[in-house]
Amino acid sequence: MTHILQNVVFPIDRDPDLLPLYADAETWSSIDEESVRMSARAHLGNVLGRNAVRVVAGRRVSFGTYFNAFPASYWQHWTAISDVRLTLHTEGDATLLVYRSNGAGVRQRLHTAEVTGTASTTFDLKLDQYSDGGWIWFDVVADQSATILRGGQWSTEQEPVRSGKASIGTTTYNKPDYCVETLTALADAPEVLELIDRVFLIDQGTQKVRDEDGYDAVAARLGETLQVIDQGNLGGSGGFARAMTEALQRPESDFIQLLDDDVRIEPESLRRSIVFGRYATKPTIVGGHMFDLLDRPKLHAWAEVVDDYPFMWRNLFQEVMPHDFGTQNLRQTPTLHMRMDADYNGWWMCLIPLEIIREVGLSLPLFLKWDDAEFCLRAGDAGYTTVSLPGAALWHVSWVGKDDSIDWQAYFHARNRFVAALMHSHAPHGGHLIRHSRRVDLKHLMMMQYYAATLRNRALRDVLRGPAHLWETLPTAMPAARALAAEFPETVTHRDRSVVMRSRFGRQVFKRSKRNEFDSPTGMRLRLFTATTLISHWFHQPKPANVEQAEVEFGKGDAQWWRLPLHDSVLVSAADGSGKNVFTRDRAKFRSLLWDSIVLHAKIRRRWPKLAAEYRRAMPNLTGADGWQKIFDANS
């Protein structure tokens, strides 16, 4: 029996920015590169459907692209498949060329075939030389008239290790429009739905998905496959834990496919991740990559890892991320040909075998932040791998226009990082975590971000309370953190220019800082700068005029921790450009928050071994179905 591993697909949306992810017209050259790019762009008019594309007479199109190349190294390394067949369906006279790459991105030709008329051409390919990395792809060169590629598949005759379906679990808080769009994309993809048992939509918002335009129509199309569950807002971890719980009760489901709410999916990616999960030699968490929903050729997350020192997440090879496929294609980017091993995958798109959940438990009750990383680390400790699978991705609003480290989420960033480290760090006292956390506090305080510093101190106090606080504060920590913002003027985003930008005499009073007037200090200069800044903030009272009116304006990119402390008050653009925030020096708050930070970090360091043992003993209770069920019952 033939099993399709991957279909050749083209974009659902008629968006020219998406085309580089699916097809590359001609082969880009380093010689006169800009003119080649301008003349060789693929055109929307040549995309004839979801699986069909026209190659214009005399032109060459490569499908060595993110969504249409085959990630051979991943299939060789994590599955037992040894042979794969590429089948191409064409109309017209053309030359078909099949290529491979190695882990260094070096290209080699494998096969060439001349086709005429209507043809189905197969290429049998061995998966035996891709241990370090490498893709397989094909090019189509049209002859004297246009050639139409009517479809293509990467397939195998080998049987999968497991054959169960997947349930989809998505949780939402007031994103009903996104949810309806996702459900519609699923309803339009029968090849995906045949692998889906249930779609669990956990609605935790006040703007219900059921009330959104288009919901009734798509719900009728999905029928009993769709199940909407209302509950109080327990954050991403609570919503996903509910979806996991529901999927565990489905005998036909072998997997739960987690999806964020504010995303746009590529349905073929869901299909690929489920098929990969079926073929994985051992139960494997299969993650999808993240493209920027507002800059759609730009890849933000590939393989992600957690460094034990200082216990912090990052992209593997983060110096090359984000990667813009609109300016540099897959074949031009050697790094993307490596097999990259991940520690975890974000829950914007992540397939988890239910047998892993049965062994290691559900999500930790963290509300949001670190729940995905902690789960994968926990699974890793139990011997299960996380694979971030190339060619499986979606579009998610990136963090470019956000700064959640200084809003109410600062509490969860700090608390959950410490909780995860207490449970999983292999380094004494969490390695450099405590030192790094103190530095983060110092930066917030020097930048007059007292709200964020207050939330971080609250987070450390809760960590010291022990693991029971996670259940106690799950429904209340977020509203409490948001309510606290009212006590801090810097949290107000001013959108009326007349309020902020001009004095009472109508004159503009702000000057913009020069970007390079003071660079980031390092070495001895950093130590001296930090010491003098802390002393200044401890003793210096701001001038009354600077309290009444900010003395300097910074763009968001200029508002660095080594620039803001030089002033009594600053006006800073919001991350999303919607307005401006005013940060003003407050000696009393600075003193109090700095002392609290020093004391709290010292306590955590002193009590680290005891706390770590306490949190690790509590793991079964914190991730067990019984504890979660009590929370669900109380918040239904």
Report the DSSP beta bridge partners of residue 304: 315, 344
Q: Report how far apart, in Å, the C-alpha atoms of 84 and of each of 71, 76, 139, 201, 307 are.
A: 11, 10, 17, 36, 36
Q: Are strands 165-172 and 196-203 parallel, antiparallel or unpaired?
A: parallel
Which pTM was predicted? 0.92
pLDDT band at 42; cut points 50, 70, 90: low
Residue type at 546 in one-letter notation: N
pLDDT tens, position by position, 536-560: 888 888 888 888 888 888 887 778 8
CA atoms within 13 A on the CB side of 439: 10
Residue 312 near residue 420, CB atoms below 8 Å: no
pLDDT tens, position by position, 218-236: 999 999 999 999 999 999 9
In this predicted structure, the answer to whether residue 510 has a pLDDT above a threshold of 80 is: no
Q: Are strands 569-573 and 580-584 parallel, antiparallel or unpaired?
A: antiparallel
pLDDT tens, position by position, 453-478: 999 999 999 999 999 999 999 999 99
All domains of the chain in start order, with CATH:
3-156 (3.90.550.60), 165-303+341-396 (3.90.550.60), 410-588 (no CATH)
Q: Report how far apart, in Å, the C-alpha atoms of 325 and of each of 291, 320, 335, 393 are.
A: 10, 12, 13, 14
User: Would the CA dihedral through 339, 341, 347, 352 be positive or negative?
Assistant: positive
Query: What pLDDT was estimated at residue 560?
Result: 82
Catalytic residue (one of 24, 292, 371, 372): 372
pLDDT tens, position by position, 322-337: 999 988 999 999 999 9
In this predicted structure, the answer to whether residue 500 has a pLDDT above a threshold of 60 is: no
The percentage of residues in the chain with a pLDDT greater than 70, rounded to a whole number, is 94
pLDDT band at 215; cut points 50, 70, 90: very high
pLDDT tens, position by position, 46-93: 999 999 999 999 999 999 999 999 999 999 999 999 999 999 999 999
Exposed/middle/buried for residue 390 (C-beta within 10 Å: 0-12, 13-18, 19+)? buried
Range with the poorest average pLDDT among 178-182, 262-266, 445-449: 445-449
Q: Active-site residue 308, yes or no?
A: no
